[in-house]
Amino acid sequence: MSTRYSRQTLFPPIGKEGQEKISSKHVLIIGAGALGSGNAEVMTRAGVGKLTIIDRDYVEASNLQRQQLYTEQDVADKLPKAAAAEKRLRTINSDVEIVALIGDATPEKLAELAEGVDLILDSTDNFETRMAINDIAQKYKIPWIYGACVASFGMSFTVIPGVTPCLNCLLKTVPIQGLTCDTGGIIGPAVQMAIAHQTAEALKILVEDWEAVRASFVSFDLWRNQYTSMKMGRAKDPGCLSCGEHPEYPYLSAENMTKTTVLCGRDTVQIRPPHSEGVDLSDMAARLKALGYEVKGNPYLLSAEMDENRFVLFQDGRALIHGTKDLAQAKSIYNRLLG
């Protein structure tokens, strides 16, 4: 379609040469929720050459208020977000190579995905994963763009290895979760504003307009009409273990990985087995039905419910235990059912 990107190429900082660069680049998006679905749609419509998306969750009704790729049918089908995103994105732009992965963005998986990637967009909901993204980006010299939002608040920062401070420089340690979508809610415009900041920076990087890349940490509160831009050059730490003179990439080590995670904004614990050996979902469905569970499923997962207990089991052995934030209780349920 010769006119597909005509309005984008009319923008002088992109032009035809920039469009050719965009169409040759590979973008990796971590997370397919509010930020991830929006980032993925913008990148797909912009004509990026290859888009890889990884997400561990599935579509629920509460997602529809702000996660723009999904439909009520996706909720009814309990489709994994990565699969639902891929289905929708392919109808938007068939020229883009879409790779959707259903699973956890562990350090091992991120290292596996890093080859050939030109840019990473952070669309996750937890700092453990963000710090792993940060270390992977430093190790493999891949630019990445941090983004987050909750309530009416959002923020973004662009990390260029060897040039800007990294997230570890800014935070030093993984912060304890404060306000979440569960405790503070979230409005759609805050999501869209964070997406706008991330994707604008993404386009600058993809067309290699490095002078235009924002060097400041941006935060905003749309409800209180506040906008802050803080210069971060002095925050770069020569002794940083992620990007300093002698990097050790601490957030890629096994001791910094958890096997249980309370999902952001939800009474849900994810249990991740040490090894992803795969699960026979048909066999498991039969076993659970025999125990009295009401079981529904699709080729990607099964959902089981009995009384107050509800959980979702994926093919790779991961499980989402709903209705609790208690890690010990979630582990007990998982071990009782799966051994």
Is 150 within 8 Å of 184 (Cβ atoms)? yes
Burial 279-296 (b: 16+ CB within 10 A, else e): bebeebbeebeeeebebe
In this prediction the pTM is 0.84
Residue 177: predicted pLDDT: 47
Residue 131: predicted pLDDT: 92
pLDDT in tens, 276-301: 667 889 988 988 898 889 999 999 99
pLDDT in tens, 185-233: 899 999 999 999 999 999 999 999 999 999 999 999 999 999 999 998 8
Q: What angle do CA 324, 328, 333 make, to 5 degrees?
A: 70
Q: Do domains 6-256 and 260-338 have the same CATH topology?
A: no
Q: Name residue, tokens 């992620």.
A: 242
- Ranges of each domain in the chain: 6-256, 260-338
Long-range contacts of 170-175 (CB under 8 A, 24+ apart): 170/217, 170/232, 170/235, 171/127, 171/131, 174/127, 174/128, 174/131, 175/127
Residue 265: predicted pLDDT: 67
Residue 183: predicted pLDDT: 53
Q: Which of 198, 177, 189 is nearest to 31 (CA)?
A: 198
- In whole numbers, what is the pLDDT of the chain averaged over residues? 91
Examine the residue annotation and report whether 181 is marked as an active-site residue of this protein: yes
Is 223 within 8 Å of 150 (Cβ atoms)? no
Residue 76: predicted pLDDT: 96
DSSP reduced 3-state for 192: helix
Which amino acid is it at 213? V
pLDDT in tens, 36-78: 999 999 999 999 999 999 998 899 999 999 999 999 999 999 9
71 by Cβ neighbours in 10 Å (0-12 / 13-18 / 19+) ranks as middle
Least confidently predicted of 76-80, 255-259, 310-314: 255-259
Residue 128: predicted pLDDT: 81
Percent of the chain at pLDDT > 90 equals 71
CATH of domain 260-338: 3.30.310.10
**Average of per-residue pLDDT across 167-182:** 66
Percent of the chain at pLDDT > 70 equals 93
Residue 181: predicted pLDDT: 66
185 by Cβ neighbours in 10 Å (0-12 / 13-18 / 19+) ranks as middle
Q: What angle do CA 11, 13, 17 make, to 5 degrees?
A: 90
- pLDDT greater than 60 at residue 176: no
pLDDT in tens, 111-146: 999 999 999 999 998 788 899 999 999 999 999 999
Residue 257: predicted pLDDT: 66
Pick the catalytic residue from 181, 240, 243, 264: 181
Tell which CATH architecture fits domain 6-256. Answer: 3-Layer(aba) Sandwich (3.40)
Within 13 Å, how many C-alpha atoms sit on residue 151's CB side? Answer: 12
- pLDDT greater than 50 at residue 101: yes
Residue 116: predicted pLDDT: 97
